[in-house]
Amino acid sequence: MAPADPVPIETSHEDMIHDAQLDYYGKRLATCSSDRTVKVFDIVDGEPHRGAGQTLKGHTGPVWQVAWAHPKYGHILASCSYDGKVLIWKEQQPATSGWAKIKEHSLHAASVNSVSWAPHELGAILACASSDGKVSVLTFKNDGQWGADVFEAHAIGCNAVSWAPATRAGALITPTPVVPNQPAPARAAPVKRFASAGCDNVVKIWGFSEETQTWVEEDVLEGHTDWVRDVAWAPNIGLPRSYIATASQDKTVLIWTKDSPTAPWVKTALDPTGISPTGAPPATAGKFPDVVWRVSWSLAGNILAVSCGDGKVTLWKENLKGGWECVSDITS
Amino acid sequence: MDSLQLFPPLHERGKEKAFVQSGRTLSATQSPRDSSLAVFATNAVEPKALSALKTAYPTQQDVYTASIDLVPSSERRLFITDTSVIFAAFQNLMKTVSPEDTSLLSQRDERTLGMMTKLALDYVNFTRECWVHASQPVKRVVPLQYDAAHYRSLYTCLSLFVVLYLPDSGFEDAPVGEELMEWLNIHFIEPSSEEGDLLSSQSHPWEDENFWPYLTKTVLRGLSKASVFFLNTLSQHQSEHLQDLAERLAPILESHPRLIQFSTERDFVVAFRRWKEKVKSLRLELDRVPEDVRHDDFADWWNHLSGIVGILEGRQEVIRNICVDLGSDWKEVCSAWGVFIDHRLRRQDLPDVVSQIMQDMPPDPTDIEDMIHAALFSGQLTGALSRAAKLDVWLAAHWADMMEPLELLDARVDEESELSVRQQYVLAYAQYLHSDPALWRITVDYLCSCGPIGRERADQVLLRVPFNSKFQGGHSPIVAEVQNGGLRSSDDAVGVLNEVIRTCTEYERESARRMVSQIAAQKFLQEKQYGLAISYAASAEYWTGVGRIVDSILTEYVLHGPEAFAQSVITVAPILQELRAHPDASGIFIHRLMFAVRYAEYHRRRLNGDLHEAALDLLAMLQEDIAPKTWWGVILCDAAELLKADGTMLFSPSGVVQLLKRLEEVHIRAAQGSGSDYLSVLMKTMKGATEKEALQRLRSARLALAKSYARCTMLGAGGREIPGPLPGV
């Protein structure tokens, strides 16, 4: 397919789309909208498959985000909504029989803004961020039972959550040889950690304490001067250190890096000079032309997509000198 | 910076502001499968504020797909796949060199170097073929993705690299001038054959204004045949001086000593000195021509001839000025330098000469190919690479791959990125390849050549190759084969899945192999392909998964009855044998699987009317402790059903006693409050019956068994032979 001729997928959503997520194989697209539905489309060779896709109805308010679970758990989607609920959906067998709501989580007192599945190594665990200022962590067990940890995270409200990779950054440097037909070597226990972004202008890092069996606030990343709209922890494939990207109402994107488990988080702001629509430098140095709403990393963690309120998506890459460059932009 | 525009556009040109003012912006999600993005319009204001904005949104809510990279298509795909074969051969060659001996040059490993040169020439020849192919003026169904000029640029760069950095064995320290001139003549043909044809068609070609420039160029390029041909035409010129000089010049050009004609450089140098003497005497003769006869009606022939003799004399200024007059560039001067000015010019001396020439004849900064040539001539390999990456990431990757073992590139890993220069370029190329998921196999080949980071990225590619769980061949891959890299090609059931697993095995990506197998097991389980599900779960050593699959198989019985159950176990039975041989496959699930297989076998026999064998199976399952306690209730009811179905004596008295004993145990345990341990499955098969109802059913089973026992005893007491099973069963 020539990239110049992308074929749009007609979602038939009746109102604004708030999120779209591709599944593990990039073969299915889930979208959610103010029309209170979630839809799932098959994508074949980069193009939408014939047919209208499937509509998942269950929410009673706008649906903000969707998240695909790891395929080892089957075809499972999580969605969160203004209605304060998180719904878990499972595709029924055969696939033609559609999707069924298998769980409903309604422990939040206000809109749930973000959902994120933990790395599969940790099990089927979902973190949810709500306007009630709390974060909830749902753990699904093999027997169909589930548990929930709900705790205060950010006063006023919590906008986003993102999990740390299960293996520590830099773990590649001394790889353990794996021999076929031998049991997998004992690895260090996977890291149970995530970041949350809040209306209190900070990002918090939460770690699970095996000792107390509770989530403990490990770090507070201070740097934004307004609401933090999104947070994205980079996959650490081939990255020697940990990276977190945050997007804020203050029109900045900060990249937080941590060189080692004991090192502090160091922040760098993306410099959007030259990407404003008029080509003119931004009104304030280091600031995007408008609020930055979303940030997301590519699979290898080397490309950051930034969605700004100026109508553009920009793609950023770290150059070999450690600086960040805008490599591409997408306009409507 | 690249720019992508949505097509069809979300709004009319110039309406960007209105789009933003409507409270919307673009958002994108990156595909894990390739370098594509799904782009959509979304809210850019607080969701609550959206409704307050008095703007009508289009009813259509589309999601666009876009790609960051130009996805390889048409001839480019062929180019990528074909050159990947050369790359693979190169990697194999490098594997034969032990890590301590990576410094090929210092080792003077001529055989390896020779093979490297051969492979480098394969790249050269292949790019030439692509150029020729792309140059053909044919109507194409699919337009070329890269034009002929692009492949030509790759061709010139690669062949120059071979000339400068991969000389033939024994020529590393030989003069390079002639090879450079040959490279120039192949790639930058001057003067054109059209010019020659035009001149040769004239009876007095010197009357043409192009005559002398043409002749000068042929001399400068060492094209002695063409030079001599036109010098011979001067025998018709009116000037006797010119006739005479042309006659003397022709043999000098023809006898210009070429390195290739000599077995030692010493002989070459001696011959060159003698030849220079002849040039010198020609100059003397030229100078003797009276000033007033040095021109004709068309040109100042003496000056042109003097220029030509100046070239042969190796006069730096003359050659430079002639090149400027003829519109030639630094490459021409450089090549002529090695032929005429310093015929002993070595490769290692070239950077100094080039920098001298470039001071007043710089390369064209707008011509990336020229800049790459300049970097190669100047020995600035990192510069050549960074420019090559701009021309084509393919070139940078394959060059870096060759440069590192040749010690032209620092092989050290950069502290910041933890990558070597070679790895950076090869990874960048692999990233480009990843834009086409169908090229996953090649992408993995390139990634796996890039150390731990590359291999980890390869895992991600391997994990995300979508596979069709519907096997074409319908064969069940047995555990051992799955572990050893999937099915062999001789098997007809080779699918993408097994190709992925084979690739994982080939590159020793064990954790990826296990994860792929685990996901495959999950998929097969969903589709109720239990045999395949168990095979893949076992090959991933995902024993809890195997346990879950066995549970699902047993659930088939509860939900869909014995026929469906027996059918679904057919594909599982052969795997049980394999699993039992597996050193780690111990534990409860194997036991349960064994039960599932035996129990299915029982039902198959029963359904086929082979009741005696079926009865034997049933008893054996209890006696050998194969049947889990939770299934005892079901089995005991089965036994009673068997007795009802057949009037003959299916069980021996001892067998009936066994069954009655088990029945008794169930009743006692139930009375003690542990009934569910024995009756849970039976209760499920009775559509959610209570324990009481299940016990009630067992009571009727006890009656049937008791009757059977009484009959056995009676017949036994009467001294008649008991029909049915063999005694002792």
| CA distance to A283, B7, B40, B405, per residue, from A278 (Å) | 12, 21, 22, 48
Phi/psi of residue A289, nearest 5 degrees: -65, -20
- Give dist(CA B530, CA B550) in Å, integer: 8
- Give dist(CA A305, CA A271) in Å, integer: 14
Question: Residue B433: CB partners within 8 Å, gap ≥ 6?
Answer: B72, B80, B439, B442, B443, B446
Neighbours of B587 (CB within 10 A): 12
| Rg, chain A, Cα only | 20
CA-based nearest residue in chain B for residue A92: B526
- Give dist(CA B429, CA B424) in Å, integer: 9
Phi-psi region at B418: left, alpha or beta (left = phi > 0; alpha = psi -120 to 50): left
Q: Do B25 and A302 touch (CB under 8 A)?
A: no
**Of the candidates A10, A275, A310, which has its C-beta nearest B60's C-beta?**
A10
Span A260-289, pLDDT tens digits = 888 999 999 999 886 655 555 555 667 999
Q: Does B144 touch chain A (CB under 8 A)?
A: no
Question: Residue B191: CB partners within 8 Å, gap ≥ 6?
Answer: B213, B214, B217, B218
Q: Do B50 and A142 touch (CB under 8 A)?
A: no
Span A161-206, pLDDT tens digits = 999 998 876 554 444 444 455 554 445 678 899 999 999 999 999 9
Whether the Cβ atoms of residue B564 and residue B596 lie closer than 8 Å to each other: no
| CA distance to A312, B193, B247, B312, per residue, from B253 (Å) | 66, 20, 11, 9
Instruction: Give the pLDDT score at B600.
Output: 92
Question: Residue B564: CB partners within 8 Å, gap ≥ 6?
Answer: B556, B557
Residue B515 with chain A: CB contacts under 8 Å:
72
Instruction: Give the pLDDT score at A237.
Output: 79
3-state SS assignment for residue A305: strand
Q: Do B456 and A326 touch (CB under 8 A)?
A: no
**Of the candidates B7, B69, B528, which has its C-beta nearest A4's C-beta?**
B7
99-158 of A, contacting B, C-beta below 8 A? 142
- Give dist(CA B548, CA B537) in Å, integer: 10
Q: Taking the mean position of all CA atoms in its chain, how far away is CA B439? A: 6
Q: Does B416 touch chain A (CB under 8 A)?
A: yes
**Of the candidates A15, A24, A328, which has its C-beta nearest B4's C-beta?**
A328
Instruction: Give the pLDDT score at B483.
Output: 45
- Give dist(CA A105, CA A80) in Å, integer: 9
Residue B464 with chain A: CB contacts under 8 Å:
24-26, 299
**Of B19, B20, B77, which to mutate for an interface test with A (greatest number of A Cβ within 10 Å)?**
B20
Q: What is the distance in angstroms between the Cα of A86 and the nearest Cα belonging to chain B?
A: 18
Of A297-306, B315-324, B564-573, the one with minimum mean pLDDT is B564-573
Q: Does B573 touch chain A (CB under 8 A)?
A: no
* Size of chain B, expressed as the number of residues it contains: 729
Strand partners, A209: A214
Span B462-503, pLDDT tens digits = 999 987 655 444 444 444 444 444 433 323 333 889 999 999
The token pair that represents B365 in the structure block: 């900064």
Instruction: Give the pLDDT score at B11.
Output: 72
Q: Does B382 touch chain A (CB under 8 A)?
A: no
Span A103-128, pLDDT tens digits = 999 999 999 999 999 999 999 999 99
Whether the Cβ atoms of residue B220 and residue B332 lie closer than 8 Å to each other: yes
Specify the pairing of strand A324-331 against strand B2-5: parallel
Q: Taking the mean position of all CA atoms in its chain, how far away is CA A261? A: 22
Of B95-104, B554-563, B626-635, the one with minimum mean pLDDT is B95-104
- Give dist(CA B432, CA B393) in Å, integer: 8
Q: Taking the mean position of all CA atoms in its chain, how far away is CA A51? A: 28
More confident of the two residues B103 and B288: B288
Span B282-324, pLDDT tens digits = 999 999 999 999 988 888 999 999 999 999 999 999 999 999 9
Q: Does B77 touch chain A (CB under 8 A)?
A: no
Residue B40 with chain A: CB contacts under 8 Å:
17, 20, 31
Q: Do A296 and B483 touch (CB under 8 A)?
A: no
- pTM given for the model: 0.87
- Give dist(CA B698, CA B139) in Å, integer: 82
Amino acid at B592: R
Please determine, for residue B522, whether its predicted confidence score (pLDDT) is greater than 70.
yes
Q: What is the distance in angstroms between the Cα of B259 and the nearest Cα belonging to chain A?
A: 45
Amino acid at B117: T
SS (H, E, C) B142-211: CCCCCCHHHHHHHHHHHHHHHHHHCCCCCCCCCCCHHHHHHHHHHHCCCCCHHHHHHHHCCCCHHHCCCH
Q: Do A330 and B39 touch (CB under 8 A)?
A: yes
**Of the candidates A9, A24, A307, which has its C-beta nearest B32's C-beta?**
A24
Instruction: For residue B625, give the DSSP letter.
Output: T
Instruction: Give the pLDDT score at A47.
Output: 60
CA-based nearest residue in chain B for residue A167: B456
Q: Does A171 touch chain B (CB under 8 A)?
A: no
Residue-wise burial string across B434-443, b where 16 or more C-beta atoms lie within 10 A, e elsewhere: bbbbebbbbb
User: Whole-number mean pLDDT of chain B?
Assistant: 87
Instruction: Give the pLDDT score at A199.
Output: 96
| Arithmetic mean of pLDDT, B239-247 | 95
Residue A123 with chain B: CB contacts under 8 Å:
none
Whether the Cβ atoms of residue B326 and residue B217 lie closer than 8 Å to each other: yes
**Of the candidates A3, A33, A62, which has its C-beta nearest B71's C-beta?**
A3
Percent pLDDT > 70 in chain B is 90
Neighbours of A214 (CB within 10 A): 11
Amino acid at B495: G
